[in-house]
A and B are shown apart, each in its own frame.
Chain A
Amino acid sequence: MLETSEPVLQVQGLKTLFNTRSGNLHAVNSVSFNLQAGELLGVVGESGSGKSVTMMSLIGLLPTPPAEVQAGSVMFGGQDLLKLSQRSLQNLRGRDIGFVFQDPMTSLNPVFTVGFQIMEPLRRHMGMNKSEAQARAIELLDLVGIPDARRRLKDFPHQFSGGMRQRVMIAIALACDPKVLIADEPTTALDVTIQAQILELVKELRQKLGMAIIWITHDLGVIAGIADRVMVMYGGQVVEYGPVREVFANPAHPYTRALMTTVPSVRGARAPKLNVIEGQPPILSQHPIACPFRARCPKAFDRCGRENPARYDVAPGHDAACFWDYQTGAPR
């Protein structure tokens, strides 16, 4: 599934600032990545690492002000999304790029039926009439595994359980056959058994529909189960990027390493004591001239406070932003 020719989405040097009363927050700093056709890119990071803001910046969903996309380019279908007007972006969102958000209760409108909300993008983007849209909506609810779809169209969001609502969100996102699906913590609000249902559904839908997916999460376990490639973010930057197996087997950034050992496993060996990343995540108000992880990093040395490390190739397709080289056990 990896290494296909032309990426569907190419992000280069994306920078997003928030202008706040107490100064600028550098929420996203020089983020670059490619999304290949049909692949699932997992984005991991803690709250405030910039993973959601990155994806919102791509498609112009951030309120401006306070947010400001300062630099970078986002190439999708031969055009730079950052240069498009709001109107053209509106035509693109929901049609070429679909979304699923974390909390299905707040992202569905409680006063409209589920059927109306699934049919809305179909009628707006695909120009379907009511009966066509309805037929497609039933098909979509079937696809995401909601039984008795025809009757359920008339139900309101509160009549669905959390897992079912998230299925509805996925149905809406898939309505217009998007090329890219961005899912922002879609299973975080759900229980594990329901999460397992949704993950299974996504695996199945990928095979059927072959779209590219960006899956944002803070759960390394979810990434390990479904992603082809993983991007680890910290302090608004990409600190590691590569194929899932390669990154898990051979993590090259101290943050990725630490993250993997702070999470206890449910099946593997049980560690007597949890590894701890001391300290707090960085405050993003300073200009990012040094490595954001240096204060918590076991390998930090003087250079890390002077320069912000650029990403270097660890292995083909696998890079990390760090001055320390685990392969040689010495600074690069």
Chain B
Amino acid sequence: MTKPRRKLVEVRNLKMYFPIHAGVLRRHVGDVKAVDDVSFDIFEGETLGIVGESGCGKSTCGRAVLRLYDITDGSIKIDGVEIGSKSQSALRKLRPTMQMVFQDPQASLNPRMTVAGIIGEPMDEHTDWSKARKLERIYELMDAVGLNRNFVNRYPHSFSGGQRQRIGIARALALNPKFIICDEPIAALDVSIQAQVVNLLEELQDRLGLTYMFISHDLSMVRHIADRVAVMYLGKFIELAPRDALYAEPLHPYTQALLSAVPDPDPASEERVERIILKGDVPSPANPPQGCNFCNRCPKVMDICREIDPEFRELESGHFVACHLYNDAGQTGASRHEHTQQGEDA
């Protein structure tokens, strides 16, 4: 990580709202703020992990970054090219650099197409290669993801979940992308198969210099694969930090609770861990609470949290957090000190 780091992806103030229409006239009565003012960078060759619970907007964020949606507002630069405002037809030419691996390998592969058809489709769309050249590339990709070449004419149903995910990865790699968004790529797989797919992704990253945005709800797997990790809650980034800093000393109360809630496969560590049990459920993103989104569940809530939404700011180098506990200004200065002390003890 000492080499000069170039920003491959720059996202600024990304907003993705889904309108709610109600009544006979289907009037616009509000928005589901699935992604609400999110800014981050992804450096070349790194893996940025995005974690959060269901409904926090992590998948929507991933899809919005690739412009699979027409975003509400914000700027997205991939490899120096602004794509936030481009039309879908103009985006089409840029698609080869950015690809996606989806969660459900069953649903994201066309059951009527053979493996050759699926992996070859991006080449049909974006290249004018000859049939032979395409087939050669398909074989090359199958080797790269560990699929037997003899299966090239089989259909997705004759593969297991892990193998199907490999087909999905091969398809994403077909056009030599620089940036791949992996949206819960292992969530549908068994534990013993998860490790196979994660190792494959890591190996491909080393070999091809890929940059990943790895979206997952599995905090332990993200700790394994990511270089930096962002935590989302109700459409916002609440903490973003290098992996070791985040897992060793989480700053935001939500991150602390989230990490403490993950069960560890070790009875001794399970006995020692002090769980922070959050009360209640995540509020609806259509109607978030006033002030900080987390204020109604936060064990360290203060008066200011119910009034003002905390700013997402850099506290230490590379460690961003959105929480009033860490605002030096005013009444909250004292609690910041006390809080870091606790963090060090843990």
Which A residues contact B (CB, under 8 angstroms)?
46-47, 161, 163-164, 191-197, 199-200, 218-225, 244-245, 248, 258-260, 262-268, 270-271, 273-278, 280-281, 296
Contacts and interface: CB of A to CB of B under 8 A. Distances in A.
A280 B53 contact: no
Contacts of A266: 219-220, 223, 247, 259, 262, 264
A276 B195 contact: yes
Interface string B100-128: 00000000000000000000000000000
B102 to A, nearest CB: 20
B341 interface: no
Nearest to A46: B190
Contact of B192 (A197, A221, A262, A267): A262
Given A46-B192, A193-B53, A221-B264, 5 more contacts: A193-B278, A195-B263, A221-B263, A221-B265, A263-B220
B336 interface: no
A268 to B, nearest CB: 6
Interface string B197-222: 01100100000000000000101110
Counting from the closest, the 8 A-B pairs by CB-CB distance are A221-B263, A196-B261, A220-B265, A191-B53, A264-B224, A277-B192, A262-B195, A46-B190
17 contacts: A46-B191, A161-B281, A191-B217, A193-B261, A196-B261, A224-B264, A262-B192, A262-B194, A264-B220, A264-B223, A265-B265, A266-B220, A266-B262, A267-B247, A270-B224, A274-B224, A276-B199
B186 to A, nearest CB: 11
Given A259-B192, A275-B195, A281-B190, A224 B267 contact: yes
A248 B263 CA distance: 14
Nearest to B266: A224
Contact of B54 (A191, A196, A264): A191
Contact of A267 (B191, B196, B198, B264): B264
Interface residues of B, number: 41
Interface of B: 53-54, 160, 162, 190-196, 198-199, 202, 217, 219-221, 223-224, 247, 257-270, 273, 275, 277-278, 281-282
B195 A274 contact: yes
Given A225-B270, A276-B196, A194 B281 contact: yes
Contact of B267 (A245, A264, A275, A296): A245
A248 B269 CA distance: 12
Contacts of B268: 245
B199 A193 contact: no
Nearest to A191: B53
A238 B337 CA distance: 52
A119 to B, nearest CB: 25
Give the residue among A196, A223, A260, A275 with the most B Cβ atoms within 10 A.
Answer: A196
Contacts of B264: 221, 224-225, 265-268
A268 B196 contact: no
Contacts of A245: 267-268
Contacts of A218: 190-191
A317 to B, nearest CB: 15
B269 A192 contact: no
A194 B192 CA distance: 25
